[in-house]
Amino acid sequence: MSTFSAPKGTYDLLPPDSAAFLAVREALAAPLRRAGYGYAETPGFEHTALFARGVGESTDIVTKEMYTLTTKGGTSLALRPEGTASVLRAALQANLHRAGGLPVKLWYSGTYYRYERPQAGRYRHFSQVGAEAIGAEDPALDAELIILAADAHRSLGLTGVRLLLNTLGDRACRPAYRAALQEFLRGLELDEETRTRIEVNPLRVLDDKRESVRRQLEGVPLLRDHLCEACKEYHERVRELLTAAGVAFTDDDRLVRGLDYYTRTTFEFVHDGLGAQSAVGGGGRYDGLSELIGGPPLPSVGWALGVDRTLLALRAEGLAPAAPAATDVYAVPLGEEARRVLFAVVTGLRRAGVAADFAFGGRGVKAAMRAANRSGARYALVAGDRDLAEGVVQLKDLASGEQRAVALDAVERELSGLLT
């Protein structure tokens, strides 16, 4: 055992659990690739100011949860706490918005970091698959992204994921609502930190999960009553498109999410089997973020889905993602000459696209066959001196126990046929 362990609030991802993780990540990303989203990858750390300006200086993410460091040259850097600001920064830096037609459609996957109190479903590092559609204001684009996320959940067999939907208005109608909300909130019995939040970003008080706050929000002004006609029409169009696509949703007037950059459409996917940490992902429209980080006006929309949270949702429903077999064929050599020959056979099978493994370490036949069964392989290739003298290997079906001789030069063709 090592002297060291993983830091508090983190975890290691190892086989066999890692196979399910990869299967979920692939399922979340597959609909995006089919919809024309290209892959983007950004550094694990960015300038701290990118998140302070983009995510919002009043958010818990920036004020309490970011891991920051100062370089020897005095530059302040932060481990990325979320993906949108980084991906938008990268797209602007590469001038993707000038390279062709808009929107620029990108998807990404990675690990993100927040200093949070560890609990079930919440870690200090977490994995997400995200998508951003940059540079277009179109309710069909909002609906597309929501539908792609719903399709990803459906492809995994999940039935308990619910979609919560709201609109946060825009620069035209939000100021009047902000003033009405502040007036209401100032009359409540709140702690000093929350009172400060009222003045900086009162919408975030609606996202407060403490019961002492939530019970005082009865009768709070609702944004839907202050929306301009353009925002009402935009939101209704999103709702119509989702309904036409068969995506069920629940209107949630208090859904604001925890980031300052959202405008208009905002949404969250939740699963009731996860307890207090019920969100499996979410996102929304962020039409002003590009300007906040020094770019041109680029209305955009995006989401991030938690790979970790999706795995928890699958377990809550008693499901397991369909992962490709790590090994289809396991080679068991009996003797040195057989080791040389079967190693070449395994190499050829791998090059032909067959998942194959080999009994390394000179273990005996019983131990090698136990390893073959543990690997999950469907077939074993067994060969000794007598088999090689006859130009054959023994092909054993590990499920039925049936075994038969196959010519050495026909092994690859035979297995390719059996495994298709």
Q: Domain holding 358: CATH number?
A: 3.40.50.800
What is the total count of domains within the chain?
2
Residue 95 lies in a domain: yes
Strands 161-167, 250-251: pairing kind: parallel
Q: What is the mean pLDDT of residues 230-259?
A: 92
pLDDT category of residue 117 using cuts at 50, 70 and 90: confident
Residue 45 lies in a domain: yes
| 366 CB burial (10 A radius; 0-12, 13-18, 19+) | exposed
Q: What percent of the chain has pLDDT over 90?
A: 69
Residue 408 lies in a domain: yes
Return the structure tokens found at 212: 């002492």
| CA-based torsion, 170, 175, 181, 185: positive or negative | positive
Rounded CA-CA distance 371/22 in Å is 23
Residues in the chain: 420
Rounded CA-CA distance 224/181 in Å is 12
SS3 102: coil
| CA-based torsion, 308, 311, 313, 315: positive or negative | negative
The predicted-structure confidence for 91-116, as pLDDT tens digits, reads as follows 999 999 998 789 999 999 999 999 98
Q: Which residue has the higher pLDDT, 184 or 133?
A: 133
Residue 260 pLDDT > 70, yes or no? no
Rounded CA-CA distance 209/270 in Å is 15
The predicted-structure confidence for 31-66, as pLDDT tens digits, reads as follows 999 999 999 999 999 999 999 887 776 677 777 889
Residue 13: CA count within 13 A, CB half-sphere: 12
Inter-residue contact 110 to 128 (CB < 8 Å): yes
- Which residue in the block uniquely carries the two structure tokens 């969250």? 268
Radius of gyration of the chain from its Cα atoms, rounded to whole angstroms:
27
pLDDT category of residue 328 using cuts at 50, 70 and 90: very high
The predicted-structure confidence for 268-306, as pLDDT tens digits, reads as follows 999 999 877 789 999 999 998 999 999 999 999 999 999
* Per-residue confidence (pLDDT) for residue 206, from 0 to 100: 82
**Where is the domain boundary, 283, 316, 349?**
316
Residue 148 pLDDT > 70, yes or no? yes
Residue 184 lies in a domain: no
Which range is least confidently modeled, 25-39, 142-156, 182-196?
Answer: 182-196
Residue 55: CA count within 13 A, CB half-sphere: 28
Same domain flag for 95 and 169: yes
Same domain flag for 335 and 270: no
Q: What percent of the chain has pLDDT over 70?
A: 98
Rounded CA-CA distance 342/383 in Å is 8
What is the extent of the structural domain holding 65?
A: 17-173+227-316
Same domain flag for 269 and 411: no
Residue 216 lies in a domain: no
Residue 324 lies in a domain: no
Rounded CA-CA distance 399/405 in Å is 17
**Where is the domain boundary, 255, 285, 316?**
316
Q: For residue 42, which of 104, 88, 99 has the smallest C-alpha distance?
A: 88
Cis, peptide link before residue 103, omega less than 30° from 0: yes
Residue 198 lies in a domain: no
The predicted-structure confidence for 353-400, as pLDDT tens digits, reads as follows 999 999 998 778 999 999 999 988 999 999 999 999 999 999 999 999
**Where is the domain boundary, 253, 287, 316?**
316
Residue 54 lies in a domain: yes
Same domain flag for 406 and 298: no
CA 128 to chain centre: 3
Q: Which residue has the higher pLDDT, 72 or 174?
A: 72
Return the structure tokens found at 239: 């709702």
Same domain flag for 77 and 147: yes
* Per-residue confidence (pLDDT) for residue 410, from 0 to 100: 94
Residue type (1 letter), 376:
G
Q: What is the CATH number of the domain that holds 251?
A: 3.30.930.10
Same domain flag for 89 and 125: yes
Inter-residue contact 88 to 130 (CB < 8 Å): no
Strand partners, 358: 331
* Per-residue confidence (pLDDT) for residue 284, from 0 to 100: 95
Same domain flag for 268 and 373: no
Rounded CA-CA distance 325/73 in Å is 48
Same domain flag for 263 and 367: no
Same domain flag for 239 and 349: no
* Per-residue confidence (pLDDT) for residue 57, from 0 to 100: 67
Same domain flag for 308 and 386: no
Residue 208 pLDDT > 90, yes or no? no
Return the structure tokens found at 55: 């995510």
What single string gives the DSSP state of each residue in 227-262?
--HHHHHHHHHHHHHHHHTT---EE-TT---S-TT-
Residue type (1 letter), 280:
V
* Per-residue confidence (pLDDT) for residue 262, from 0 to 100: 82
Same domain flag for 249 and 395: no
Same domain flag for 264 and 333: no
User: What average pLDDT does the structure give for the chain?
Assistant: 92
